Amino acid sequence: MSSTLLRTVPALRGALRASGAGKPAAALASTSFVRGKATLPDLPYDYNALEPYISSKIMELHHKKHHQTYVTGLNSALENIAKAEEKGDFTKAASVAPLLNFHGGGHINHSLFWENLAPASREGGGEPTGDLKTAIEDDFGSFEDFRKQMNTTLAGIQGSGWAWLVKDKESDTLSIVTRANQDPVTGAFVPLLGIDAWEHAYYLQYENRKAEYFDAIWNIINWKTVAKRYD
């Protein structure tokens, strides 16, 4: 089996398990699977619940169209890899690995992203509390310094990608990392908070003013979810 497939398949399967595949619907980051197939998770709020910071139209398209595309692509990639492996055609299986990474990562990232958000009238916005607040202050100086660094990182993403607040599994320290396209956070880091910098996340509302989107999204961050992931 090629080194590409050896790296991609275990990493994605591990990330899917870590993000909640096969767990009850109430579990954090519940990437839904039914009879072994990925399914589009329900949102814990209505499409218009994040307005005025993210419009109802963007939420509907982002969830029902874009995320569904990643779910469909992930299931197709897994099926094609399984068929190729059954035939012993590992070259064919390896050729599908990039699609597995892209669509599997897209499913993981968006499942986490939806749970990062909450209406401003409910759990959305404000600042973290407790151990997470302390950790952010220890590693970034202050919450405001962290927020500015995150926005600067997001603005620096060329093309499509994500910025993540992550926790190092060994040291428990926090840092900000970026991932291109739909590459998921795996390996040494636990993803705590991800912000989608793809144009489809903001363009219908903010057009080329993506810095406004990066500022606005802090009003609907669900810090309770982020804190649970941190703990």
Q: What six digits make up the tokens of 11? A: 């990493």
Rg of the chain in Å (alpha carbons): 18
67 annotated ligand binder: no
Residue 175, beta-bridge partner list: 166
Per DSSP, which regions of 80-132 are E strands?
A: none
Residue 39, strand partner residues: 32
181, burial (CB in 10 Å: exposed 0-12, middle 13-18, buried 19+): middle
Cα-based distances in Å from 179 to 11, 166, 185, 195: 15, 12, 7, 11
In angstroms, the CA 38 to CA 32 distance is: 6
Name the 3-class secondary structure at 231.
coil
110 is in an annotated binding site: yes
Q: Are strands 161-168 and 189-196 parallel, antiparallel or unpaired?
A: antiparallel
DSSP tag of 181: T
Has 62 been labeled as part of a binding site?
A: yes
What residues form the annotated binding site for Mn(2+)?
Answer: 62, 110, 196, 200
Q: Which residues belong to the annotated binding site?
A: 62, 110, 196, 200
